[in-house]
Amino acid sequence: MDDEIQLKEIILNYYNNKDFVGMINYCNSKIELEDSNYLLFGARGMGYIEMDNFEHAIIDISRALELNPEYASGLRNRGICYYLTDKYDLAIQDLESAKLLNSELENIDYYLGACNYFTENYEKSIDFFSKHLLNIEDEVALKWRAEIYNLTEQFDKAKIDINKLLLNEVKNIERFRKINKIEKIKTEIQKDINKLNLISTNGFKNLKDEKHSGIYILEFSNNEYYIGQAKKIQVRIKQHFKKFNDIIAVFFKPTSEDLLLLEENATIAIFETNELRIRNLKQIEFLNVFNEKHQEKWKNDWTYNALTGSKFNNDIVRDKFAERYLKLKAKIYFEEIIQLLRKYIQSTIPNYLASEFNYWNITCLPNYMKKSNCITRININSVPVLSVFEETDNSLTFMLYVSKLPFLEDLKHNNNLFLTNFKTIPSLRFDLRDAFLEKTEGDEITVFINQKDFQKALENRLLISSIRLFNLRMMNKTGKEDKYRRAISHCLDLSDKILDIPQTLE
């Protein structure tokens, strides 16, 4: 008995010091001398689990269970291995057996809840997560239970769990305020509404026979521009003439190679600030399109917007999605969805005219979303801030990403259930899973609303404030990506219809 206690202490010491290699080697040396001690196989299995070697862990723990069928911790650990390798039925068998032997085993109800979730035994899953939550505060389990309540249409219970999770986050409210703070624009850019004067005063000239490096501007027949950099300017311009057939002028500014990126960014910023539409998929600063004064007012006045620039128009982009638009137009709900999308864009996208395409875009019957019956999406910074799904009865469900901060502010100042703010939107559902953590830094909530309630949702001050704040933050992140080139799907016919822009006459 003393030997067993000493063995457990040695193994525990290895485990607490996270020396899993040492623990495995220790067990190896002991097993060579004695291969009938279940603790050695069980401990080596634990070491393999920590090193994500689940196959070897299962072999070792199974051997331990052959030597001691009532080894409860071994059953739990093998069950966890089965869970981590997606063998949920086997995991449930082991975990339930372990619980019968020792109901106090750590996190056993959590893993049983997770396994039953993946095998779609939702009521059992809820029961196990609820038992787990009686003994421990666990936000992951609470999020999971809220999701299952939504899946099983127990929406009121899901909202109670969401409310608890948000109450827990009120203590982090300063962090969310910080990440929502508007960054001041780095440099002041002089505004010059005369494009030709703008080019000439910044050192650009008509391209002739330039062979060295520099910054160039392409002018297109539809009043768009493209700004780029090149080490061999003539080679790059020839490539553009092969790609575009609507170039009407080229301007060039000699620049040393080490300053190309700096000059390119500065030139794009000048064009953005002067409300000149660029064809680039590289943006510099949304503050150039919607300045700090506008952004502060946008955050503080939920009815405010400011429009500058002109409606986006590009025949190449239009033609690409024209057929899909006609298919969407034939849907029985087409006119209603147009009205709802118009309300959303006008209420929640800052300066939606000047920012169209480069900062936000709208898809039409996206191919990659066919299985989920998604009919349209509005994307900002590659985040689908609004998605619309067609249900089997031809009704629509709207899925949105919104900011937590307005909800947390409401909870902190009013000290009540924020859910009371949404009594007029009975179909409203929340999900707190982090789908875009890298972009949102944890400030995101997924919201689901049915077609009948969507108009009311866009009239709810708290909800609309959270949508507007989230969209503004995603706009401000555009252009700051490490890899800035983005593939944009934009249905221009749909955008024109939503924004009530007359169609181009044939």
Signed CA dihedral, 358, 359, 363, 369: sign only: positive
Residue type at 25 in one-letter notation: N
Q: How many CB atoms lie within 10 A of CB 30?
A: 18
For residues 99 and 207, give the distance between their C-alpha atoms in angstroms, rounded to a whole number: 78
For residues 206 and 20, give the distance between their C-alpha atoms in angstroms, rounded to a whole number: 68
For residues 124 and 105, give the distance between their C-alpha atoms in angstroms, rounded to a whole number: 19
The pLDDT confidence band at residue 129, using thresholds 50, 70 and 90, is very high
CATH 3.40.1440 domain span(s) along the chain: 195-284
Contacts of 388 (CB under 8 A, 6+ apart): 337, 341, 374, 375, 376, 377, 396, 397, 398, 399
The pLDDT confidence band at residue 189, using thresholds 50, 70 and 90, is very low
Asked if pLDDT for residue 114 goes beyond 70, the answer is yes
Whether the full predicted model's pTM is greater than 0.85, yes or no, is no
Between 218 and 370, the more confident residue is 218
Look at residue 466 in the predicted model and tell me its pLDDT. 95
Rounded to 5°, the CA angle 192-196-197 comes to 50
Residue 33 in tokens: 């001398």
Cβ-contact 323, 280 below 8 angstroms? no
Determine whether domain 2-154 maps to CATH 3.40.50.720: no
Mean pLDDT value across the chain:
87
For domain 195-284, which CATH number applies: 3.40.1440, 1.10.10, 2.60.40, 3.20.20? Answer: 3.40.1440
* Mean pLDDT score, 377-399: 93
For the stretch 256-282, pLDDT in tens is 888 888 888 888 888 888 878 888 777
Contacts of 326 (CB under 8 A, 6+ apart): none
Look at residue 233 in the predicted model and tell me its pLDDT. 81
CATH 1.25.40.10 domain span(s) along the chain: 2-154
Between 79 and 487, the more confident residue is 79
Least trusted range by pLDDT, from 112-121, 173-182, 190-199, 313-322:
190-199
Look at residue 270 in the predicted model and tell me its pLDDT. 83
For the stretch 291-341, pLDDT in tens is 899 999 999 999 999 998 888 888 888 999 999 999 999 999 999 999 999
